Structure 1
Amino acid sequence: MTDTFAQDTTRPRRGRRESRPSGDDREQAILATAERLLGERDLSEISVDDLARGAGISRPTFYFYFASKEAVLLTLIDRVVAEADAASSAPPEGAPADPTAHWCTVIDAFLATFRAHRAVTLAAARVRGGNREVRELWAGVMETWVARAAHAIDCERERGAAPQGLPARDLAIALTSMTERVLHATFAAERPALAEARVVDTLLGIWLATVYQAPTPPRE
């Protein structure tokens, strides 16, 4: 998960031709078409012609914006991650007065964002194993979230709210990986999987019990 005690790190945007302005309507149309089609079928079943036709442009024009359909997916992933990070951010003044509310807000923001972009979330997971760029992008995303969570745990320990214990980074890796897996299973309707209505409360309880070794951390 993300942590707002640390400074945001900006990942380089991947997969799109940097010469184009981000607000270009045709680029937005390509991205919107891709996200819509990913909700209907796998990336392997979507062609560049499908994306171009859906965006109302020619195939040559498509290549003016993106090098491939995989490049479109990379940009969609970047944007969804940026949206999740922005939604889960809190004022940087320091530790939250109510840690439970803080962690609940963070987890709920991630659930809401990735649920809103379920098609992109599931497509990224399916493609990751066979696409090096997607795999490396997601590894960087996970590393950022792990670093933020580890920093948050260290901050809570330093102020005496959380006890010392296993290395903060190890906890952050386990908790972040668990959260990613739980969300994916729920969005993919796997069996077994948590009901969507129970995701936030369940994950919150595990994070609090692990970080604070108590169901409710102390408030300031």
Structure 2
Amino acid sequence: MTTSRASRGRRPSRPSGDEREAAILATAERLLAERPLTEISIEDLASGAGISRPTFYFYFSGKKDVLLSLLDRVAEEADRAIVPRPPSPIADPAAFWRDVLTAFLGAFGSHRAVTAAADAARATDPEIGALWSRLMTGWVDRDAAIIEAERAAGAAADGPPARDLATALSLMVERSMTALFTGREPVLDQDDLIDTLLHVVLSAVYGPAA
């Protein structure tokens, strides 16, 4: 078999640091779909990414660090999918809140293994629990500001403090979607999930007439 002059002696390209990190994360997500984090070894992650164990530690301190990065990336994906906060009063509240709910369902639903692993770990791992809490707090703050603006514009109904209402609604959405992604009962059917959550959000924020 002949070898062209252009390819003869060419050294194979080496993956960059970003490519190696991405390979580790992709391997972790693939393995999490097959078994829990506790049954995944550093060797599994390094081998799947095509790197050595010492090289793995150049990018991550351990398996938990990998899961934290995965969860952070899924949350960023959800945030990017959410439409910018509109001025109040919102012209079409149903469409706006549906887009918000769909963004979360799309992002976390596309990475169910990560969501399930993080949900299982946050109860016993303070760092993962803290990240989850920070993410939830950010979304609560955002929704509370929207509810306050809608009330000030005369569009939303009076009720509990905006932040309390946003907290209750965010917890409802988070638990409902997590139950769907982890298969825990009771669980809403995925085909009905968005419509059901949207009905509750609109009723709570704008009143039963909404």
| TM-score (norm. length: structure 1) | 0.85
Whether the 8 Å contact between 2:102 and 2:194 is mirrored in structure 1 is yes
Amino acid paired to 1:134: I
Counting helix residues as a fraction of each chain, which structure ranks higher? Answer: 2
CA RMSD in angstroms comes to 1.3
Structure of larger gyration radius: 2
**Does the CA-based 8 Å contact 1:205-1:215 persist in structure 2?**
no
- Find the partner of 1:44 among 38, 55, 67: 38
Quick check: 1:126 aligned with 2:125? no
Letter in 2 for 1:94: P
Change in CA separation of 1:158 and 1:171 when aligned onto 2, cut-off 3 Å: same
1:67-91 deviations in Å (ceiling 9; x for gaps)? 001000000011000000110132x
Match of 1:153 in 2: 147
Match of 2:87 in 1: 94
Q: 1:134 and 1:188 mapped to 2: Cα distance?
A: 17
Which secondary structure state, in structure 2, belongs to the residue aligned with residue 24 of structure 1?
Answer: helix
Q: Distance in 1 between matches of 2:104 and 2:115?
A: 11
Q: Percent identity?
A: 54
Q: Tell me, in whole angstroms, the C-alpha distance in 1 between the residues paired with 2:197 and 2:96.
A: 13
Per-residue deviation, 1:215: 4.5
Indicate the structure whose relative CO is greater, using CA pairs within 8 Å and at least 6 residues apart. Answer: 1
| Unmatched 5+ stretches in structure 1 | 1-21
What is the correspondence of 1:1-220 to structure 2 with a 5 Å cutoff?
24-90=18-84, 92=85, 94-95=87-88, 96-216=90-210
Q: TM-score, normalised by structure 2?
A: 0.89
The structure-2 alpha-carbon separation of the partners of 1:66 and 1:215, relative to structure 1 and needing over 3 Å to count, comes to farther
CA distance in 2, matches of 1:147, 1:23: 35
Moved over 4 A (4+): none
